[in-house]
Amino acid sequence: MSHTATSSRVTIIDVARAAGVSYATVSRVLNDDPYVKLETRERVSAALDRMGYVANRQARSLRTGRSQMIGLLVRDLGTGYVGEIVAGIDAEIAGTDREMLLFTTHQQAREPEYVATIVGGMADGLLLVLPFDVEPYGELLAQRRFPYVLIDYEGSAVGPAVSCTNRQGVYEGTSYLFSLGHRRIGFITGNMAMGSARSRLLGYRQALSDHGLAEDPALVAEGDYQQPAGHAGALALLALSDPPSAIFASNDVMAFGAMDAIRNAGLRIPQDVSVLGFDDVPQAAGVSPALTTVHQPLHEMGRQAVQLLLTYIETPERPFEYRELATKLVVRSSCRSIAPAG
């Protein structure tokens, strides 16, 4: 595959392929990230120069007064959840004359730093996927009237955002378990600092109440959306004197951890314990047994976030819009019907 310096459609994905690195690494080099190894930086820089990427971007910037870049801030790229959202973002951007500049924070402390860098002229707009906490830099975004859209975020500082019906999705999943005869339903929360986790817990509690079940605090294990927390939460629930017959994890990744814990305890899924997740990442259909889960349209959330951001770039004074996409229950093999107790 060859490129010339005059090509106007060289993307960071093309450069990444030529340099033999991930597109996240190319973005980090463009952002002058000091943690990139010197040898990697030199290889990427050589590919950028050879393919004319930087020159093309600078020429467009001078011509339009804009960078033609969209900043994307994500925690990491190691989950199917993030991968699906990024795929939707990438698909929507591919149909425009813009390119994506990717930042991975890994930790909460770096989020405001990266936002300040992007707002300083690195890009024309910003997408934030499941950010830790918008409030520390929300004022900066507002002062600069900098276009941004939050993806899968619920909180007191919500601006333009695309999310899903978190509470309703968990309500329907819990109601499904009730319909199968389950009365002891364990729940593993997400990171409770996040609005999505709080909404999902509310959905669980509302479903218990509406079906006449008293909430047992012992059946709620606090998690953080990571697989080890799902494993630990399930072990704690299984250790109860009256353990649950079903475990509802606040995301699929924790559900996978819970499934491992159940097997490690010598129990079977779903014969002994039913398991339900949330997200419907691609791996959910591939595990054994296939995971029953609440589907949220991650790919579409990414696409709509780009569409919304482009409107704010063109019309900064446009009122904030909050889009909530519908979830739906996807029934597979990890839950079974039992005779109700009593």
Beta bridge partners of 149: 127
pLDDT, tens digit, for every residue of 197-224? Answer: 999 999 999 999 999 999 999 999 999 9
CB 197 within 8 A of CB 220: no
Q: What is the mean pLDDT of residues 243-256?
A: 98
Q: What does the alpha-carbon distance between residue 92 and residue 79 come to, in Å, rounded to a whole number?
A: 20
Question: Which residues are bridge partners to 72 per DSSP?
Answer: 102, 127
What digits encode the pLDDT tens for the residues 267-300?
999 999 999 999 999 999 999 999 999 999 999 9
Confidence band of 303 (pLDDT split at 50, 70, 90): very high
Mean pLDDT score, 179-202: 94
Q: How many CB atoms lie within 10 A of CB 218?
A: 14
Average pLDDT (232-261) is 98
335 closest CA partner among 244, 272, 243, 253:
272
Query: Which domains are seen in the chain, by residue range?
Result: 12-164+299-325 (3.40.50.2300), 166-296 (3.40.50.2300)
pLDDT at 144 over 70: yes
**Token couple for 160:** 């333009």
Average pLDDT over residues 7-14: 64
Whole-number pLDDT of residue 234:
98
Q: Which residue has the higher pLDDT, 64 or 324?
A: 324
Reference 85, options 296, 304, 301, 324; nearest CA is 301
Give me the pLDDT at residue 31, please.
66
Tokens of 39: 């040898």
